[in-house]
């Protein structure tokens, strides 16, 4: 039997919503504070995927300046009906601190749910229409009678209540994009708790509700319930979870949950879900939550089940009965000589990229304009791409003339504002110097001089990541020998699992280029190239 390897989307690509339109498959995933918002990948065979676009790409659609770490765009839902693609998403504006069932005190959060539409997956995508703010993980269900329903988890801020209040549903008028009628609480969840990520399907006269439970950590699970009536009551699957890694903290696929179903033309059903791949023995996943997919089967009793024993995730599922469709390799030599930013890059929060970077100010270079500090939640000039491998190098070439110590630019490995490693070129007493800035939860931020005198001209910077080991090096452009910083850093802290208590951690590690000018002068830095080279 021929198989393929999970995950199918490497690096930070969580909360998959999967859709088939004819012979084409699409997966939409969360982007949180990274702009543009929502990643949509396209496939013809469920195995080979290419990035089709990021639809929330302008200020009228999304502005995340000020959104806290791991807030912004959560859990998009992608459907197709009436000749339109419908994309639902949450923009989280306030998170507060993590809570558990029965936590004391009120817990106020702000979740705003929106819908955008487009006639094609490439767009143009409409401006958003606000639907509600009662909770997160919204999804649309298009019933057989043509009516459309919005589901989302219900957030309960009241003291001494379970924050996850269950799944609610309310009708949406497709013409006006507005909710109508009353909302109904249709499912309170199971003892696994943290009921979220709803998707609804209709099959053989049953409404099948798929939810995520257990929290998006080691105990994550995909749980199913069904009812003959849209509003319930919903009967929970007799086996409990239909997919879970059962708390495993090591292995090929862990943290599995938050799934969505797609049916192939041959009638087979596949489940897309998020997963984590921990570094061996460390219980940490720097690549973030990734997307995997595997076949499921409907039993004679009408319930959905995995082909694996004990509803386990499958690292090597059988190939689907589809013609193989690999995409042509989009090889990029790393030079910034095109009119558009290469598709692997994103930046943080701001819908105004012209304030942060330019490809035309100095042709053949990416110019970053020095903005706020590396820990800013507002306007930060940081352009980066996902870690997609456990072992890689990333190299860039920097031309920068800082006037003083408040101006810096360089190569960064970044998870969020509380955990990063930043190798910078700056100035001290009129001389260019190299510094290392880093932040580790529980230890705070550090700033250390690495080299007190750096020759004029362009310098090349490199980071080498091998599992939990991370090292920086540099050289003047044209030199052959790298000078390696004596520190070896712990790359594993760039993960969800290492955190300041109570803060959200839902993304993944990025590597890229950054420029700060906290004096406000906007001193620019020019990058001639950026090369990411997998080594595993």
Q: Where are the domains of the chain?
A: 17-311, 346-534
Nearest to 6 by CA among 244, 266, 277: 277
Nearest to 15 by CA among 105, 64, 101, 78: 78
- The CA angle 420-346-216, to the nearest 5 degrees, is 65
**Per-residue confidence (pLDDT) for residue 97, from 0 to 100:** 76
**Per-residue confidence (pLDDT) for residue 159, from 0 to 100:** 84
**Per-residue confidence (pLDDT) for residue 497, from 0 to 100:** 96
**Per-residue confidence (pLDDT) for residue 166, from 0 to 100:** 97
Nearest to 393 by CA among 536, 534, 489: 534
- The token duo for 159 is 């003291």
Domains 17-311 and 346-534 equal at CATH topology level: no
- The token duo for 236 is 């929970």
**Per-residue confidence (pLDDT) for residue 64, from 0 to 100:** 98
Overall fold of domain 346-534? Jelly Rolls (2.60.120)
- Is 379 catalytic? The answer is yes
Q: Are 271 and 258 in contact (CB under 8 A)?
A: no
Could you list the pLDDT tens digit for every one of the 536 residues in the chain? Answer: 799 999 999 999 999 999 999 999 999 999 999 999 999 999 999 999 999 999 999 999 999 999 999 999 999 999 999 999 999 999 999 998 765 544 567 888 999 999 999 999 999 999 999 999 999 999 999 999 999 999 999 999 988 788 999 999 999 999 999 999 999 999 999 999 999 999 999 999 999 999 999 999 999 999 999 999 999 999 999 999 999 999 999 999 999 999 999 999 999 999 999 999 999 999 999 999 999 999 999 999 999 999 999 999 999 999 999 999 999 988 899 999 999 999 999 999 999 999 999 999 999 999 999 999 999 999 999 999 999 999 999 999 999 999 999 999 999 999 999 999 999 999 999 999 999 999 999 999 999 999 999 999 999 999 999 999 999 999 999 999 999 999 999 999 999 999 998 899 999 999 999 999 999 999 999 999 999 999 99
Q: Are 255 and 495 in contact (CB under 8 A)?
A: no
What are the angstrom distances between the C-alpha of 377 and each of 147, 257, 348, 450, 492?
40, 29, 8, 27, 23
What are the angstrom distances between the C-alpha of 460 and each of 342, 450, 452, 478, 517?
20, 15, 17, 9, 21
Phi, psi (rounded to 5 degrees) for 254: -130, 180
CATH number of 17-311: 2.115.10.20
Nearest to 336 by CA among 531, 533, 477: 531
Kindly state the greatest CA–CA separation across the chain: 77
- The CA angle 39-97-28, to the nearest 5 degrees, is 10
Nearest to 345 by CA among 397, 384, 382: 384
**Per-residue confidence (pLDDT) for residue 463, from 0 to 100:** 98
Nearest to 387 by CA among 409, 366, 413: 413
> How many H-runs (helices) and E-runs (strands) does the chain carry?
0, 36
**Per-residue confidence (pLDDT) for residue 96, from 0 to 100:** 82
Catalytic residue among 235, 372, 379, 466: 379
Q: Are 476 and 458 in contact (CB under 8 A)?
A: yes
**Per-residue confidence (pLDDT) for residue 103, from 0 to 100:** 52
- The token duo for 211 is 């939810």
Q: Which residue has the tokens 């696994």?
A: 192
Nearest to 348 by CA among 368, 365, 334, 330: 368
Whole-model pTM above 0.95?
Answer: yes
Nearest to 260 by CA among 322, 201, 186: 201
- The token duo for 251 is 């292995």
Using DSSP, state whether 255 is helix, strand or coil. Answer: strand
Q: Are 346 and 37 in contact (CB under 8 A)?
A: no
């Amino acid at each position: 039997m021929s198989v393929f390897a999970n995950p199918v989307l490497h690096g930070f690509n969580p909360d998959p919503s999967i859709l088939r339109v004819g012979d084409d498959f699409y997966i939409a995933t969360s982007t949180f504070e990274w702009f543009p918002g929502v990643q949509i990948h396209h496939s013809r065979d469920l195995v080979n995927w290419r990035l089709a676009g990021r639809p929330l790409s302008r200020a009228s659609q999304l502005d995340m300046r000020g959104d806290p770490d791991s807030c912004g765009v959560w859990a998009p839902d992608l459907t197709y009906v009436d000749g339109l693609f419908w994309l639902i998403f949450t923009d989280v504006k306030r998170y507060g601190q993590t809570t558990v069932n029965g936590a004391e005190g009120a817990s106020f959060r702000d979740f705003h749910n929106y819908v955008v539409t487009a006639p094609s997956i490439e767009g143009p995508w409409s401006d958003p229409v606000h639907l509600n703010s009662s909770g997160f993980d919204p999804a649309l269900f298009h019933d057989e009678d043509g009516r459309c329903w919005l589901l989302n988890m219900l957030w309960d801020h009241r003291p001494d209540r379970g924050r996850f209040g269950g799944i609610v549903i309310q009708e949406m008028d497709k013409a006006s994009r507005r909710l109508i009628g009353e909302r109904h609480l249709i499912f309170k969840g199971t003892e696994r708790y943290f009921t979220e990520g709803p998707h609804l399907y209709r099959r053989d006269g049953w409404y099948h509700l798929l939810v995520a439970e257990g929290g998006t950590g080691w105990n994550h699970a995909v749980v199913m319930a069904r009812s003959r009536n849209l509003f319930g009551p919903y009967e929970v699957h007799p086996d409990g979870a239909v997919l879970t890694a059962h708390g495993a903290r090591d292995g090929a696929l862990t943290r599995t949950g938050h799934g969505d179903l797609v049916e192939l033309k041959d009638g087979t059903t596949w489940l897309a879900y998020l997963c984590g791949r921990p570094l061996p023995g460390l219980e940490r996943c720097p690549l973030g939550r990734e997307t995997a997919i595997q076949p499921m089967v409907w039993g004679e009793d009408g319930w959905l089940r995995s082909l694996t024993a004990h509803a386990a995730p499958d690292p090597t599922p059988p190939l689907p009965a589809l013609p193989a469709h690999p995409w042509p390799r989009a090889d990029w030599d790393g030079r910034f000589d095109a009119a558009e930013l290469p598709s692997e890059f994103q930046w943080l929060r701001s819908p105004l990229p012209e304030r942060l970077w330019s490809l035309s100010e100095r042709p053949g270079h990416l110019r970053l304009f020095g903005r706020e500090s590396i820990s800013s939640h507002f306007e930060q000039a940081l352009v980066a791409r996902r870690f997609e491998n456990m072992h890689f190098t990333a190299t860039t070439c920097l031309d920068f003339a800082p006037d003083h110590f408040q101006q810096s630019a360089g190569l960064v490995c970044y998870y969020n504002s509380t955990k990063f490693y930043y190798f910078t070129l700056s100035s001290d007493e009129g001389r260019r110097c190299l510094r290392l800035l880093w932040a580790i939860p529980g230890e705070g931020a550090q700033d250390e001089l690495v080299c007190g005198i750096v020759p004029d001209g362009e310098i090349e910077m490199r980071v080498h990541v091998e599992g939990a080991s991370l090292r920086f090096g540099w050289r003047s452009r044209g030199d052959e020998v790298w000078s390696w910083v004596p520190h070896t850093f712990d790359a594993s802290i760039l993960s969800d699992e290492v955190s300041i208590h109570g803060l959200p951690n839902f993304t993944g590690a990025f590597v890229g280029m950054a420029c700060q000018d906290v004096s406000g002068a906007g001193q620019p830095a020019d990058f001639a190239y950026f090369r990411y080279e997998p080594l595993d």
